[in-house]
Amino acid sequence: MGAPAFTGFPALAAHPWAYPALEVVHIVGIALLVGNLVLLELRVWGAAAEVPVRALARLALVLALAGFGIVAASGLAMFSAQPADLLTNRAFVIKMGLVMLAGLNAALFHARDGLGKLDRVARVQTALSLGLWVMVIICGRWIAYR
């Protein structure tokens, strides 16, 4: 006989305020993540050209990474409340794939020094980044309805 399957922490999902509080924390993390990425992406597209891109990136990327950390921690806690349900939820699976694509896009952007080049490829990558994160948010909202 194999080990019993992990069924998660259903009491978390049933708690009158714990799960909704996690959702609020998740949204705050999304705001930090996406808000700071949009700010940096606007600079890559040429807005506020008087602001040095690397100085802005130092601040925006630290805050975006903090937001991602908050999103990851709160998302993992929410996932632990109902792992079996989420793993069979198409919107959740698509969301996780999009998060991976967004991470890969960010890694490629920085590997090719997009901040140093500020070229057409960098602009395409930032537009792709924003599109991916918007789709992640849409899928996140869809999870409850699938």
Q: What is the pLDDT of residues 51-65, one digit of tens each?
A: 999 999 999 999 999
Regarding predicted confidence, which is higher, 15 or 19?
19
Torsion, Cα of 100, 23, 143, 94 (10° steps): 0
Q: Is residue 133 part of a domain?
A: yes
Domain of 137 in residue numbering reads as 16-145
Domain contains 136? yes
If you search the block for the tokens 């999304």, which residue do you land on?
Answer: 30
Q: What are the pLDDT digits (tens) for 96-139?
A: 999 999 999 999 999 999 999 999 999 999 999 999 999 999 99
- Asked whether residue 58 is domain-assigned, the answer is yes
Instruction: Establish if 7 belongs to a structural domain.
Output: no
Q: Is residue 4 pLDDT above 90, yes or no?
A: no
Structural domain total, the chain: 1
1 assigned to some structural domain: no
Give the helix, strand, coil percentages of the chain, each rounded to 5.
80, 0, 20
pLDDT of residue 107: 98
> Does 63 fall in a domain?
yes
Position 94 in a domain = yes
Q: What's the pTM value of the predicted model, to 2 decimals?
A: 0.91
**37 within some domain:** yes
